[in-house]
Structure formats: structure tokens, C-alpha cells
């Protein structure tokens, strides 16, 4: 018996040595990035000829290239980005990775849980390849699908951004039916935690947290159905006690007002919010996650639907005219009141000719068209988004101590925000996941 034990111990020891020698389980090697133009997202100014030392998934030093190189380990590998424009990884605060709408119906509603997870895995990978290294998934993922996706990505079983999952949305009774999707009992139980009282509100927050939620997503208004102010306050109180942020879907003025009074962390959409509500949001530090689209983008999204039902075109164009008048005005009123803007795509569509990641970034082009400068658009998707998540100590800027989430471009996104559609290099946590610039890798 002793000989068997010793033989087994020897085998384990040799296996451990072999694995360590082959690189299994090791962190990526330290590397030094030579950034020709590194964007300081706080000021909107490019810092030239910067060195960024990356080791163990984090940024160890940033400064003049030669200064950082002298302080770097002997023989450190240099990645040459001297001709590139270098930015922090982007952050999508309002993703829906488990949805696939064709402009008419939600295709994912008839999928099994396993099929929806495969859809989300594909969408997550496409989001990462577009330069989004952190994403908040805010509902419609089943009981805890986005928590499963988060765990898969963290374990290296799937590729995607860091996921902050909401699990099920908290809604008024009846849930939140999507376009042409019947609100069956099965869908209600799968995607929503319905709230009809203060006690139910607190219980729903605890249940979401227990199933893996990293953020609480609430739907304040669904048509004429609204969560009560006391219920929203109970949700916010319980969530904040558990160190969770609260993202509130609110499209009506009354819904936005209640959400602001209750002290949520972000209001998603805020379509009909008044100047008074925007002032209240600014006073309380509540972000607006504006997910707008250009008229041309919307025409592309609904092209198949309009082609199959020509009678809808007149009504659609009338709606579009109203939308493209009110959305820019709403954004400008929010900015005038001092409300901070964070990027959230709300992309649920299978956008023609675009990956999910590329389609998600179209919102930044729409915000540019509504009056944000390119610098403000990028800040909304980096520093401001990180502050909304409470992750400003981890992501959102290229600074010492933060996670090494870095993206690079051939051309300057500050001159043309559409350049964000053409990311050439993506590094997440110190690992190159996309490289069309150098042909090198951080973890060979």
C-alpha cells in the first residue's frame, strides 16, 4: 500500500513539473506596449510615444516609453503600436446578449435554455471582438443565463467581455412583453421577478442576488403599469445594502420621476423625462443610459418587416419623424441639466451586415449625431461607464493598477467616431484576443 501511495505521489509531482514547464496555468508573460498615441479619456488628449507595461493581467506602469522600458524587466517583449491610436477597452452598460430580434419577432423566445446560451456565447464573442471588454447584461436571459455566461467566460470556457449579470428583471405584475412575443406564464417565470408590494420588492432583490445577479434591473413602467414609489425605494435600499447597483428602465415622465426620487443608479432610456426630472438626476448623480439610433439605422433594422407589410411604411415614417425630433432634444436637455451620460447599446436586433458587437457600437454614432462630441462619446463608453458600474478602480482608463483592457485603431476615432467600428487590436486582461495590427500575441 505504501509503495502504491509513493508511486502516486511521484506521478503527481512529475505531472506538476511537466505542466509548469509547458506553461499551463501560467499568467501571460509581461509585455511592453509602445503606444504612438494613447488617449487620456479624462481630457480627450492623446499622449504621444507612451509605454504601457502589462503583467499578470494588469497595467503595471504607464509613462514615456523610454522611462517605462528602463523600469521594465530585462528582455521584456515589446509590442509595437507606435502608429496606432490606443484607447481603453469599451464598456456597454445595457446589453441583451440572449435576444435575437429580426425587426418583427424575438427569435430567441422559442429557443431552449441551451440554445439561448449558445446564442449569447456567440453574441458575447462578437462584442469582445468589436472592442467591448466589459458589458452589463440587463435582463431577458432566463432565470440566470447571464450569470452562467459570466462564469463560463471567467473560467475560459467562452470568449467575451466581463459580464455583470442582472439575471431576471424586476417588473410590475405582468412582466415586460417584447415585440410580438406573447407574455405566457412560461416566459414570465423565466425572465421576470414580478413585484406587487414592498415585501415582494425586497424579496425579489435577494432572490436575484442569490441566483448570481451583479446588478439589479428594474422595469418601472410597462405601458400604464408602473412600480410604486415605495416599491422602487425598497428595491434600491435592499440592493444598495447588498452592494448592488440599480438600473431602471423608464420611458415615461412619471416612471423616470419615480426612479429618480427612489435614488436608482441609472435610468435607461428616459424617453419622456422632464427638465425637472433631469435636474433631480443630476443632483443625485444618476446616470442616463441613452440608447438611441439614427433614422437610417432604424430603417435598416425594420427593412424586412416593412418590405413584407408595405402598409406599415407610412405609420413607421411618421413614428420615425417624431422619434428623431424628440430623442436629440431629450439628450440635449439632459446635458444642459448636468446629467452624466453612459453608453448602453440596448442592441437586441440581428442587424443586417453587422456582428452583434459592430451593431452595438452604432449607438455611439447616433449619440454623435445628437450632439455629443467624439470625445464625449468615448468618455461615455469608458470612464463614465466605469463610474456607473462602480468599477472605476478596475476599468475605463489606461492607468497603473487597472485591468489591462486596451484597444487600438489605424485611424483617429476623435476625428470620426465611426472608426470605433474598425478596431484592429483588442486586449482583455493582458491577453490579446484580436490582432490585425502586429500579428503578435501576448500569451503564445
pLDDT tens-digit map of 240-287: 999 999 999 999 999 999 999 999 999 999 999 999 999 999 999 999
Burial of 183 (0-12, 13-18, 19+ CB in 10 A): middle
Helices 145-154, 113-129: inter-axial angle, 10-degree rounding: 50
pLDDT tens-digit map of 367-408: 999 999 999 999 999 999 999 999 999 999 999 999 999 999
d(CA 63, CA 120): 38
User: Could you please report the per-residue DSSP string of 299-331?
Assistant: HHHTHHHHHH-GGGHHHHHHHHHHHHHHHHHHH
pLDDT above 60: residue 80? yes
* pLDDT tier, 91 (very low <50, low <70, confident <90, very high otherwise): very high
* pLDDT tier, 303 (very low <50, low <70, confident <90, very high otherwise): confident
Distance of CA 328 to the CA centre of its chain: 22
Long-range contacts formed by 234-238: CB under 8 A, 24+ apart: 234/198, 234/201, 234/202, 235/170, 235/195, 235/201, 235/202, 235/204, 235/205, 235/262, 236/262, 236/263, 236/264, 237/202, 238/201, 238/202, 238/205, 238/206
> In terms of Cα–Cα distance, which of 31, 29, 33 is closest to 65?
33
Pairing of β 245-250 and β 266-269: parallel
At 100, is the secondary structure helix, strand, or coil? coil
Pairing of β 425-428 and β 431-435: antiparallel
Average confidence (pLDDT) over 167-182: 75
d(CA 321, CA 9): 74
Give me the chain's average pLDDT, please.
Answer: 90
d(CA 387, CA 393): 9
Supply the pTM of this predicted model: 0.91
Decide: 88 and 407 in contact? Cβ < 8 Å: yes
If you compute the radius of gyration of the chain from its CA atoms, what whole number of angstroms results?
Answer: 23
Amino acid at each position: 500500500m505504501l509503495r502504491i501511495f509513493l508511486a502516486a505521489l511521484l506521478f503527481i509531482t512529475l505531472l506538476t513539473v511537466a505542466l509548469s514547464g509547458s506553461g499551463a496555468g501560467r499568467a501571460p508573460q509581461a509585455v511592453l506596449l509602445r503606444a504612438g498615441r494613447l488617449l487620456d479619456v479624462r481630457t480627450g488628449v492623446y499622449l504621444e510615444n507612451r509605454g504601457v507595461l502589462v503583467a499578470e493581467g494588469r497595467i503595471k506602469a504607464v509613462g514615456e516609453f523610454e522611462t517605462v522600458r528602463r523600469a521594465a524587466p530585462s528582455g521584456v517583449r515589446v509590442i509595437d503600436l507606435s502608429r496606432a491610436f490606443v484607447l481603453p477597452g469599451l464598456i456597454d452598460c445595457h446589453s441583451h446578449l440572449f435576444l435575437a430580434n429580426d425587426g418583427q419577432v424575438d427569435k430567441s423566445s422559442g429557443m431552449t435554455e441551451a440554445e439561448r446560451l449558445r446564442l449569447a456565447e456567440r453574441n458575447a464573442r462578437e462584442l469582445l471582438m468589436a472592442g467591448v471588454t466589459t458589458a452589463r447584461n440587463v435582463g431577458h436571459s432566463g432565470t440566470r443565463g447571464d450569470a452562467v455566461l459570466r462564469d463560463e467566460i471567467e473560467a475560459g470556457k467562452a470568449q467575451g467581455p466581463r459580464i455583470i449579470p442582472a439575471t431576471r428583471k424586476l417588473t410590475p405584475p405582468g412582466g415586460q412583453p417584447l415585440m410580438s412575443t406573447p407574455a405566457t406564464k412560461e416566459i414570465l417565470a423565466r425572465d421576470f421577478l414580478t413585484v406587487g408590494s414592498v415585501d415582494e420588492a425586497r424579496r425579489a432583490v435577494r432572490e436575484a442576488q442569490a441566483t448570481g445577479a451583479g446588478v439589479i434591473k428594474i422595469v418601472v413602467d410597462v405601458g400604464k403599469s408602473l412600480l410604486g414609489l415605495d416599491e422602487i425605494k425598497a428595491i434600491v435600499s435592499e440592493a444598495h445594502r447588498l452592494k448592488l447597483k440599480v438600473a431602471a428602465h423608464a420611458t415615461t415622465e412619471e416612471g423616470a420621476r419615480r426612479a429618480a426620487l427612489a435614488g436608482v443608479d441609472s435610468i435607461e432610456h428616459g424617453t419622456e423625462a422632464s427638465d425637472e426630472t433631469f435636474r433631480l438626476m443630476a443632483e443625485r448623480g444618476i446616470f442616463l443610459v441613452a440608447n438611441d439610433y439614427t433614422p437610417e439605422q432604424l430603417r435598416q433594422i425594420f427593412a424586412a418587416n416593412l418590405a413584407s407589410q408595405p402598409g406599415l411604411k407610412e405609420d413607421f415614417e411618421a413614428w420615425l419623424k417624431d422619434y428623431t425630433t424628440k430623442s436629440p432634444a431629450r439628450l440635449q436637455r439632459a446635458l444642459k441639466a448636468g446629467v452624466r451620460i453612459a453608453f448602453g447599446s440596448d442592441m437586441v436586433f440581428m442587424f443586417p451586415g453587422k456582428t452583434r458587437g459592430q451593431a452595438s457600437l452604432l449607438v455611439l454614432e447616433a449619440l454623435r449625431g445628437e450632439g455629443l462630441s467624439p470625445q464625449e462619446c468615448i468618455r461615455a463608453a469608458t470612464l463614465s461607464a466605469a463610474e456607473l458600474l462602480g468599477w472605476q478602480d478596475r476599468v475605463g482608463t489606461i492607468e497603473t493598477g487597472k485591468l489591462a483592457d486596451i484597444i487600438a485603431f489605424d485611424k483617429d476615432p476623435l476625428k470620426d467616431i465611426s472608426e470605433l467600428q474598425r478596431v484592429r487590436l483588442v486586449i482583455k486582461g493582458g491577453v490579446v484576443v484580436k490582432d490585425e495590427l502586429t500579428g503578435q500575441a501576448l500569451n503564445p
